[in-house]
Amino acid sequence: MTPEEFSKSHIHHAFNAPYMFITQEGRVKNPEFLKEVSLILKKDDHIIVGCNSGGRGVRACVDLIEAGYENVSNMEGGYSAWVDAGLKPAGDKPAEELKTFCKFRP
């Protein structure tokens, strides 16, 4: 998730190491992604990657696996699927409001 998406809402007990940032030029890959992950997680930790809809999560998983992380999974459908399944996000905003916020991003 981008920092903007994560600050709006996220899944309980998640931390954010953004794979991409939103800039005036569009989305750009975070050059510090692997470093940020390495500050929190070890290469043999079980990592579940999530983004808004699943696409960025897949790319993040590939980078993590190529960097030697051994137990990496992508949350299929991302945060949107979490909300669609009726699961509760962190925070007190209505889930549909949070999903709408994320959905209008390009």
Task: Give the active site residues.
Answer: 51
In the chain, which residue ranges form alpha helices assigned H by DSSP? 3-8, 33-38, 55-66, 78-84, 95-103
C-alpha span between 7 and 30 (Å, rounded): 17
What is the spatial distance between Cα 23 and Cα 16, in angstroms, rounded to a whole number?
18
